[in-house]
């Protein structure tokens, strides 16, 4: 299974070959996420991944555990997936978005 550090995310954000996927729940995504990421909760990932053929999903969660588990599952089903070590908590880039910016955290 492939992994990248949170500081490597920015270089993949605008590459059409990769898709940033937040595997947390929609409420967590709305509070804070990385620009360009789509929210596909972990329990729906296998159902929805078929529509993402042609791109490599880069998965992140809060701290990296759930995204690592998700990447393993996807690989067991024949998909290439990359997990972000440390999750969104480790991300220090300039592309954070969400309600936390307005103080509604």
Domain 2-102 has CATH 3.40.50.300: no
Question: What are the b/e assignments for 78-96, b being 16+ CB within 10 Å?
Answer: ebebbbbbbbbebbeeeee
- Mean pLDDT by runs of 10 across the 105 residues of the chain is 96 94 98 96 93 89 98 94 98 91 57
Domain ranges of the chain: 2-102
User: What SS3 class is residue 61?
Assistant: coil
Q: pTM here?
A: 0.92
Which residues make Cβ contacts (< 8 Å) with residue 91, sequence separation at least 6? 6, 7, 9, 34, 60, 84
């Amino acid at each position: 299974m492939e992994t990248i550090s949170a500081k490597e995310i920015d270089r993949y954000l605008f590459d059409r070959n990769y898709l940033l996927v937040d595997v947390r729940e929609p409420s967590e995504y709305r509070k804070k996420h990385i620009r360009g990421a789509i929210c596909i909760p972990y329990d729906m990932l296998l159902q929805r991944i078929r529509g993402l053929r042609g791109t490599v999903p880069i998965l992140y969660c809060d701290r990296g555990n759930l995204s690592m588990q998700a990447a393993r599952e996807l690989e067991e089903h024949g998909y290439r997936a990359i997990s972000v070590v440390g999750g969104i908590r480790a991300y220090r880039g300039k592309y954070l978005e969400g309600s936390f910016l307005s103080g509604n955290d």
